Chains A and B, each alone.
Chain A
Amino acid sequence: MPYCAVGPVKILTIAFLLSLVAGCAPPPDGVVNFGLAARPVTLDPRFATDAVSARLNRLVYRQLVDFDDTYQPVPALARWEKLADRHYRFRLQRHGRDFHNGAHLTAADVKATYDYVLDEQNASPHRGTLGTIERIEVVDDDTVDFFLKEPDLIFPGQLVIGIVPANLIDTGHAFNKLPVGSGPFRFVDWPQEGRLTLQRVPDGQAFRFLYVPDPTVRVLKLLRGELDIIQNDLPPELVRYLAQQDDVTVVRGNGANFSYLGFNLQDPDVGRLDVRQAIAHALDRQAIITHVLGDAARPASALLVPDHWAGHPGLPGYAYDPALSRRLLHDAGYSSERPLALTYKTSSDPFRIRLATIIQSQLADVGIRVALRSYDWGTFYGDIKSGRFQMYSLSWVGIKTPDIFRYVFHSQSVPPGGANRGHLADAGVDGLIEAAETAADTASQAADYRKLQELLYQRLPYVPLWYEDHIVVTRRQVTGYRLAADGNYDGLERVKRTR
């Protein structure tokens, strides 16, 4: 009677396998699935600092001020006027004033949100950027005044925290897990950290944000239809592969993340301007962009992108000229008998190491011997901050306001007081930074920052490399997504998905 025992087992096994197959088809539910390379940490805008959380929070909450394509602050939830050097008045607009719990957003909610962030007890990481605020006063339901400790021309650009309901702040509501905002998307659920669902308010379209850390798996999920959109954090070879596939569309857009080579200006070799110029002319950035970055970047000449309101579109960039580079090195006293030998530090990220190896090879072509040193991020960053380097490469990410120049290049910003890691001490640079900060209006401020960038271009404390592009890949069924300059997900407001 062995068949009696085997029969049901076989049937059960086949049924089990069939159930697996039936249960694994891509979701036919009309939900748009968006692949994330990093986990959102918190949906509380008063605490979010990581890029993914910030981008998701922009969908759920509304902020007083936003930025246009030239990074100029523009009204979002409110328009503003400067009543005095230290007094700004914000008037809430009609649009976007309904919280998802049915309450109406008023000036009291704005004050409560910012008062919470400014309260030292709450340890908000955004408190520091708002340190110039002296006090906030509610004028009426639609109007709120901000009083500053000192004049600040770019102050409105700091008011980018999503507004949360005042009454829920009082009750200690867990916004980090159950967000309540007034943005274009309302929260649905977040059963696992890597699986968040939001719903677009006007039409009820659902969006699922899935955390898929491995880029290859993210691509496979997109090709199989388990994801509809993936954005950034893709190696160039995967982007090239995707560009050849029929089922997906690859779109690139200009980004503003600035990659550079930094130098220790106190070093006897790279502290010399002619050596840094020789390095700049030895680098074939366009070749790296074309062959390594897959054309997903544009050459940089300054820290701010040329289309920034304070950027400088007229800077030509250091041309690839190995002959000139060799001549500069020769004039500086280096030769094949006495070659220039440098140590180049980078992180242990494989792609960064690959780039560093190529730079090493290009510098070798003009006779510069480069020893590469890669470290885990904590050690590398610690070395850079404490000045233990000769040459390194890094990127500035998410720069929107020009106050970065003081932090990076002013002589008083040497670590730990800032990020002037190369110890640049230049009276001309300091003077232009201070002139820009005290300018009467943004037009003259922009002019000062342009002069500053010209001077930095000559002094060359950094060799500007490139601005990395943003890349979005969508399935053919998904249309209408528009890439933002800072890589935010606002394009989802207009996305359509055909079944």
Chain B
Amino acid sequence: MTDNLIIKGIEFKSRLWVGTGKYKDFQETKLAIEASGADVVTVAVRRTNIFDNKSDNLLDYIDPQKYKILPNTAGCFTVEDALRYSRIARETGISDLIKLEVIGDEKTLFPDVCATLQATEILAKEGFIVLPYINDDPIMAKRLVDAGAAAVMPLAAPIGSGLGIRNPYNIKIILEQATVPVIVDAGVGTASDVAVAMELGCDAVLLNTAIAGAKDPIAMATAMNHAVKAGRLAFTAGRIDRKLYATASSPIEGML
């Protein structure tokens, strides 16, 4: 029996999604992504380096035939910019997926929820598979689903902070209500954070800095690969209840 994540008919082979930013070079990016086992990789939309056409292209290292490319709208602070970046991203012909980020504040990089909601509605109507980045806010998660989001991507903690899941209870409420997949996005620091997200029942985890910023990104990518599988398996296995007092594992009967 397969336990693969499916969004809008697209089947995902891994529940770990990874970004491609902040790596030393494209070779390291490639090796880390291979080690992570991810089949979704996020990318940003930026001006081509037209005056140096000998410079490498990311997609020479991350084959769009092999990986699902998930463009983001990182750096967009308005609905208009997010729409512009999304439409340009789709015009490359590589992907209808969009990781929608409409940032509200430079210091926290928290989302502008009103703008995110507006942009989600417009892009979903245009046929995009919209995956919005949001706070760990159960009400906004519901509103985004009503607006046409194909999944919701609540943050664990601020982008790049490595703080891990700050509010597991809100994530749990989002999960209880969710009628679409829930993907924890941003703020993960290490493998145990990924395992916690998966054990809560999240459908996937998206991370970038936790791997790219590690001292040994390839080793951390491997750790994340294991963590996402271990966490998912623990979730489906069904953990024991938490109890305040001890319950002996060895029998009393037969003691001397």
Partners in one complex: no
